[in-house]
Amino acid sequence: MDLRRIMETVNMIDNENLDLRTTTMGISLLDCIDSDSDRACQKIYDKITTKAENLVKVARELETEYGIPIANKRITVTPISLIAAASGDSDYVKYAVTLDKAAKAVGVDLIGGFSALVHKGYQNGDRVLIKSIPQALKETERVCSSVNVGSTRSGINMDAVKEMGKIVIENEKINPLNNGNLVIFCNAVEDNPFMAGGFHGVGESDVALNVGVSGPGVVKTALEKVKGESMDVVAETIKQTAFKVTRMGQLVGQEASKRLGVDFGIVDLSLAPTPAQGDSVANILEEIGLESVGTHGTTAALAMLNDAVKKGGIMACSHVGGLSGAFIPESEDAGMIAAAEKGILTVDKLEAMTAVCSVGLDMIAVPGDTPAETISAMIADEAAIGMINNKTTAVRVIPVPGKDVGDSIEFGGLFGYAPIMPVHKESSAAMINRGGRIPAPVHSFKN
């Protein structure tokens, strides 16, 4: 045993905010399909509470044995639009309530999969589920919802983009915080352990255990030791640090899956920040040499960080998946919050950064009078970045009633708080109201 390396890891946990962000159990509900929705919901509840019965218990055992904090315990399920379509119900709120009830029974923090995949078009179950989202999120506490509106292979479903803008506004009227549990994707992945966008894809095994690592504070501390060195040295330092963090994730993931008797899925390498000081992706970028995140050079620094994290993590882990890279949520990162409050970090700059980061416009708070068409246009822009670059992008935007630029909203917990960011006042309505589909890019045709 190398005592120096053991103490190095202990220091990461004690002083640098190293943790596992989540252990997420993915559960297939395909065998719960039933034309009677009451029977289907009972099957869903029974399967989740059986398969995930010991998820939290095992996670806590591993926290104690290895001394590694696990911030969240979560579940993902097969997109409910696929499961509920056989029922013929006019809304799927009862499915969401069932998921919430099962999540509470097994003690997990969140459950994802109240989802629909409409990147090329709607099926009836998709239409019903999307219309059910506002009421479903109103009646539940732990349910997360996502809708995939585009992909590199199929283009962008602009009818869905338009509808999701309206759904966001409907959520705002009920409770703006509900939009924190809704993500609109392009190129959604099937094994994402992070919320609110997680769901268990149909290509996954019946039950799998996925892990999401964290560690922005660890990376920043490592970079403090190479001040003034070249960018080559910076990239190499990030790679080596990501290797150590990911090794920990694989160790816990494999042991958890073994004890639970389920398949080990993937480790998601994403650097996921929290509002805590010293746990910020923005601070990493500033340590690289930016006076403030959001200034010129931010996108280049983020591109290098994202790539170096992936290179280091891939060498450390047998199965890498999910999103993997660096999250840049406005509200969950103390450095991002500070830059947004100063007006240095804008929505436009965040959008540029999403071309090279892990996901997209995440936890963005905007004025409460923002039109639905403007929200839809933000979704369309992010989907276009994902479609053209063959990467996952997403929007989690939160209009706040009665709030304007200069105000803020408190979310609490891992969500932190967010300053209200300005959006362009000029209308995008004529474009959004065209509907139809934006065709797939030419490089999508590879068969």
Digit-coded pLDDT (tens) for 120-146: 999 999 999 999 999 999 999 999 999
- Which of 268, 246, 375, 405 is closest to 324 using CA atoms? 268
What tens digit of pLDDT does each residue of 402-418 get? 888 888 887 766 666 78
Instruction: Name which of 24-33, 336-345, 425-434 the model is least confident about.
Output: 336-345
pLDDT of residue 1: 35
Which pLDDT score is estimated for 276?
A: 63
pTM, entire model: 0.88
Which are the contacts of 271, defined by CB distance < 8 A and separation ≥ 6?
214, 215, 216, 219, 281, 284, 305, 309, 325, 326, 327, 358
**Whether residue 24 has pLDDT greater than 80:** yes
pLDDT of residue 17: 54
Comparing C-alpha atoms, which of 364, 365, 381, 363 is closest to residue 373? 381
CA distance 151 to 439: 10
- Which class in CATH covers the domain with range 1-446? alpha beta
Question: In the prediction, which pLDDT does 445 show?
Answer: 67
The model's confidence at residue 6, banded by pLDDT at 50, 70 and 90, is very low
- Nearest by Cα to 77 from 144, 173, 141: 144
Cα–Cα–Cα angle for 391, 392, 396, nearest 5°? 145
Give the whole-angstrom CA distance, residue 350 versus residue 359. 11
The percent of residues above 70 in pLDDT, for the chain, comes to: 92
Look at 142 and 253; give whichever has higher pLDDT: 142
Each residue's pLDDT tens digit, 302-324 = 898 888 888 888 877 778 777 77
**Choice among 69-78, 140-149, 310-319, 369-378 with the minimum mean pLDDT:** 310-319
Written as one string, the DSSP assignment of 341-404 is: HTTSS-HHHHHHHTTTSSS-EEEEEEETT--HHHHHHHHHHHHHHHHHHTS-EEEEEEEETT--
Q: Has residue 15 got a pLDDT over 60? A: no
Q: Distance between CA atoms of 215 and 194, rounded to whole angstroms?
A: 15
Q: Angle at the Cα of 333 (from 142 to 143), degrees rounded to 5?
A: 10
What pLDDT is attached to residue 78?
A: 96
Report the C-alpha gap between 68 and 416 in whole angstroms: 23
Q: What is the pLDDT of residue 277?
A: 62
Q: Which pLDDT band holds residue 447 (cuts at 50, 70, 90)?
A: low
Q: CA 426, 336, 245, 180 torsion: positive or negative?
A: negative
Q: Residue 136: its pLDDT value, please?
A: 96
Name the residue among 323, 193, 171, 314 with its Cα closest to residue 256. 193
- End-to-end, the C-alpha distance of the chain in Å comes to 50
pLDDT of residue 8: 55
Distance CA 68, CA 134 (A): 37
Q: What are the Cα distances from residue 75, in Å, to 25, 58, 139? A: 5, 14, 18
Residue 415: the pLDDT is: 65
Stretch 418-437: mean pLDDT: 91
Residue 95: which residues within 8 A CB-CB, separation 6 or more?
37, 40, 41, 44, 80, 83, 84, 114, 136
What are the counts of helices (DSSP H) followed by strands (DSSP E) for the chain? 15, 13
| Dist CA 84 CA 128 (whole Å) | 9
**How high does pLDDT run on average in the chain?**
87
> Which of the two residues, 338 and 214, has the higher pLDDT score?
338
> What pLDDT is stored for residue 440 in this prediction?
87
* Torsion 437-374-296-293 (CA) sign: negative
Model pLDDT for residues 378-392, shown as the tens digit of each residue: 999 999 999 998 888
Helix (H) or strand (E) holding 184: strand 182-186
121 touches 157 (CB < 8 A): yes
> Would you place residue 82 in the very low, low, confident or very high pLDDT band (cuts 50, 70, 90)?
very high
pLDDT of residue 404: 87
Nearest-angstrom CA–CA distance, 63 and 109: 16
Percent of the chain predicted with pLDDT > 90: 46
Structure tokens at 103: 């999540």
- Give me the pLDDT at residue 274, please: 64
The one-letter amino acid code at 428 reads S
Please choose, from the candidates 410, 394, 395, 342, the residue with its C-alpha nearest in 3D space to the C-alpha of residue 364.
395
Q: Cα–Cα distance between 51 and 394 in angstroms, integer?
A: 30
Residue 329 vs residues 335, 365, 373, 433: alpha-carbon distances, Å: 10, 10, 22, 29
Q: Which helix (H) or strand (E) holds 211?
A: strand 207-213
Average pLDDT over residues 201-223: 86
**Residue 254 has what pLDDT?**
85
What is d(CA 331, CA 414) in angstroms, rounded to the nearest whole number? 9
* Domain parsing of the chain, residue ranges: 1-446
